[in-house]
Amino acid sequence: MNRTRCDHTPAWGQLQTAFEATGRAFDARAAFATDSKRFDAFSQSAPHVFADLSKNLIDQPTEALLLDLARQTGVEAHRDAMFNGDAINVTEGRQVMHWLLRNPAIAPVEQAQPAITNVSNDLVQVHATLDAMLAFAEQMRADEAITDVVNIGIGGSDLGPQMAVVALDEFVTPGKRFHFVSNVDGHELAAVLRKVKPESTLFLVASKTFTTIETMTNAQSAKAWFSRQGGTDIARHFAALTTNVAAANAFGITTTFGFWDWVGGRYSVWSAIGLPLAIAIGAAGFREFLAGAHDMDAHFRSAPLAQNLPVRLGLLDVWYRNFHGFTSRSVAPYHSALKRYPAYLQQLEMESNGKRVDVLGQALPFATSPVVWGEPGTNGQHAYFQMLHQGTDVVPVEFVAVKHPKHSLDGHHTLLLANVVAQAQALMLGKADAGGHKHFTGNRPSTFLLLDELNPTSLGALIALQEHRVFVSGSLWGINSFDQWGVELGKVLAKDVEKRLVNGDAAGLDGSTAGLLARLRG
């Protein structure tokens, strides 16, 4: 398909002109003062998520130009190509079909869902695997002898399931503990092994490729520990979640749940990689998680661009990165259970869009992925919010709030909600009546995402929303959001350094690396 890079469109130049004319000096406070309907124009409902975009540095003419930019780059055709099963991951020659993992088995006609005939065979396989995995999850939930589930995986094989299990803690079945081991640093695995017993532990070795060195090292050590402790029944105590079932078998694991090369690692929580979550919240809960995401897929596929939330968020990201020049976005979930959400988003966005060349390999003359970072509120307020309010850089903030809590402790939730609203308000309004150290410039942009409740459905929708907004900005930038060549060099060099650490050979190394090696071996 033909994609047009954002800087090759007429809208790009028009946006530059608009930025110089009104964008750079735009003041959200003045915009509210002159437009009583601003909140309505810049807020919207999407499935399971309400979004207030009105505190952002944008007016309607600018949003109209950004929508032109989206149309001129061909983002709709690109989106449709993904949903058509085209191999849009061109550098790896792969389809991009994580969305199919949450597609109902037989899509009801009344959902007016575009045909999925091209991928109907894949959908049959998806549901056969899903049913088997969920049956296993139910079996493990019912098995009182299994008290601990240890997920061994890294990157997408860790961050997605971990983020979701922690987020949905209120829905987790009592009597089971969940542990996540990702780091090759043996301290992490050793600390978990101190807490568990072989007869009551299920190890899940999660690796799309089944070659990732950290995961293979941890899995080997877990298996050796299991044998040393007298464990014998590997088939009962180890399962592999992978596209490389042959390698899992060769490793000695016979209980396997597969998926496909068209699921990117950071998009894999919906696949067998989601097994820890399925054990935690049950088959019905996992299906709700998929259904919430599917609702967001349907919105992304069919809502007009001007009312399409992933599109509006992705366009804002481009506006901030390429015109305002903001280098980062802070995410502030006001729910303690969303504590791994910022880490999850870091991989999703920075591994997808941290690219310096376009799909054709041409160097880009503009910036791409922002740095994504954050912590749950209110904790962040007592750490880095000082910088957000009074620092020299403007950092757009994306708040997430949840209307109804799952606890009944008096006063807490009102206080939490008061804080998230007040932070957004303070960033925008500032405080001009005090000088010097007590002055807040204000006009600092934020987006406010609101869920009615944090549950499997809304979490699924929120994560799919984030996947699609990353798709939109990546699409406009003309990059391939679905490869990750940037992680390869370090992997190759680590193998070489590992050998040198053992044999002391520093020949041909740069001075710093040689110096560090000598120090580590001394």
Chain residues in the site for ligand F6P (CB under 6 A): 154-157, 207-209, 212, 215, 265-266, 351, 484, 487
Q: Which residues does residue 51 pair with via DSSP β-bridges, in sequence order?
A: 44, 449
Q: How far is the CB of 49 from ligand F6P (least distance, A)?
A: 25
Which residue stretches of 253-346 are H helix? 275-302, 309-318, 341-346
382 given a catalytic annotation: yes
CB of 222 to ligand F6P, least distance (A): 15
Tell me the closest approach of the beta carbon of residue 242 to ligand F6P, in angstroms.
Answer: 8
In terms of CB distance, is 59 or 158 closer to ligand F6P? 158
Give the residue from 316, 239, 250, 263 showing the smallest Cα distance to 62. 316
Quick check: is 431 catalytic?
no
The strand pairing partners of 406, in sequence order, are: none
Q: Tokens at residue 50, please?
A: 């309400």
Tell me how far, at minimum, the Cβ of 23 lies from ligand F6P, in Å: 35
Question: 404 catalytic, yes or no?
Answer: no
Q: Closest separation between CB of residue 344 and ligand F6P, Å?
A: 11
Q: Which is nearer to ligand F6P, 316 or 372 (CB)?
A: 372
Task: Give the Cα separation of 382 and 232 in Å (integer).
Answer: 50
**CB within 8 Å of 353: residues ≥ 6 apart:** 368, 369, 470, 473, 474, 477, 479, 481
d(CA 69, CA 23): 16
- CA-nearest of 230, 276, 249, 292 to 101 is 292
- Per residue in 265-303, is it b (16+ CB within 10 Å) or e — as a string? bbbbbbbbbbbbbbbbbbbebbbbbbbbbbbbbbbbbeb
Q: Exactly one of 404, 412, 439, 491 is catalytic; name it.
A: 491
> CB of residue 99 vs ligand F6P: minimum separation in angstroms?
18
In this complex, which beta carbon is closest to ligand F6P, that of residue 272 or of residue 388?
272
Write out the two tokens for 250: 């060769």
Q: Do the bridges between strand 238-242 and strand 201-206 make them parallel or antiparallel, or are there none, so unpaired?
A: parallel
Among 351, 375, 398, 467, the active-site one is 351
Query: What's the rounded Cα separation, in Å, for the pair 190 and 371?
Result: 32
The neighbour count for residue 25, using CB atoms within 10 Å, is: 11
CA atoms within 13 A on the CB side of 439: 7
- Catalytic hit among 382, 404, 412, 499: 382
Nearer to ligand F6P, 266 or 312 (CB): 266
Q: Annotated active-site positions, please?
A: 351, 382, 491
